[in-house]
């Protein structure tokens, strides 16, 4: 069951999607003789984005994990993969639906000697500790285009629903004794995302084009919870702080698109 806060966010997401679609559907459509291939695009993009991740960086990584020698680096950014199908309602207005994947990662690996009983001998143990943060976000966008021959300049806005996950993992291995132990903690959260961007694409052929896009995302989830709905909270400065995922920040994408 969703909490009241999550329910409000979901209804807000649906309302904004409806307003975006209703506005573009009232735009002047293309002439009826315009072929479908001139209006429909499929694109695949990859790039890099900066992440805010304030709670996790400040209260967990800096306030605990680095001091306990568990992790080394903050999660300040990560790769982006985005696939989209877009449709041109007019020569200057397009709407698109896509799925965005984001990932952030921090880890620490170390060797240390351990005394094993009852053998009473010392063996080398391998420790690997990591924190992976990911988000899968269905996304709706509306763009306004400024076509200049083979060059297409555009600006756009979008809305997304973020399905986020955080995985804390610890692996210990003693290779000489073929001993291994793995502990994993999983937390999930959801939240509304908004973005704005500008970009350009260039036609390579009548069917293929390459492009680049820069912009800013505001992607923040609610509180992370385990499968039993218990929040992930970290004690810091005498207070308990609940963790969330914050993938907000500037981003850049490079794309390859195809007219159908």
> How much is the mean pLDDT over the chain?
86
Distance (Å, whole) CA 107 – CA 127: 10
Average pLDDT over residues 71-77: 95
pLDDT at 121: 76
Indicate the range of 77-86, 87-96, 235-244, 248-257 predicted with least confidence: 235-244
What CATH number has the domain spanning 4-104+135-259? 2.40.160.20
Q: Which of 217, 216, 210, 211 is nearest to 199 (CA)?
A: 211
Q: Which of 211, 214, 215, 212 is nearest to 196 (CA)?
A: 215
Distance (Å, whole) CA 225 – CA 216: 27
Residue 32 has pLDDT above 60, yes or no: no
pLDDT at 12: 53
Model's pTM, two decimal places?
0.83
Distance (Å, whole) CA 130 – CA 120: 30
**Cβ pair 47, 218 in contact under 8 A:** no
pLDDT at 38: 73
């Amino acid at each position: 069951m969703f909490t009241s806060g999550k329910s409000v966010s979901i209804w807000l997401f649906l309302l904004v999607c409806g307003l975006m679609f209703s506005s573009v559907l009232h735009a002047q459509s293309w002439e009826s003789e315009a072929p479908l291939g001139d209006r429909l695009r499929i694109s695949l993009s990859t790039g890099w984005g900066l992440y805010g991740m304030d709670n996790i960086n400040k209260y967990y990584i800096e306030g605990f994990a680095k001091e306990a020698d568990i992790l080394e680096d903050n999660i300040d950014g990560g790769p982006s993969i985005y696939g989209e199908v877009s449709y041109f309602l007019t020569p200057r207005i397009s709407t698109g639906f896509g799925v965005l994947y984001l990932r952030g990662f921090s880890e620490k690996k170390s060797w240390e000697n351990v005394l094993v009983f009852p053998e009473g001998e010392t063996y080398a143990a391998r420790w690997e500790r990591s924190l992976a943060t990911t988000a899968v976000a269905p996304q709706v966008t509306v763009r306004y285009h400024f076509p200049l021959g083979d060059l297409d300049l555009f600006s756009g806005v979008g809305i997304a629903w973020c399905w986020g996950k955080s995985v804390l993992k610890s692996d210990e291995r003693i290779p000489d004794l073929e001993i291994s132990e793995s502990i994993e903690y999983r937390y999930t959260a959801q939240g509304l995302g908004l973005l704005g961007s500008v970009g350009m694409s260039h036609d390579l052929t009548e069917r293929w084009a390459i492009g680049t896009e820069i912009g800013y995302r505001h992607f923040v989830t609610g509180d992370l919870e385990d499968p039993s709905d218990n929040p992930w909270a970290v004690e810091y400065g005498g207070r308990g702080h609940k963790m969330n995922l914050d993938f907000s920040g500037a981003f850049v994408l490079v794309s390859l698109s195809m007219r159908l």
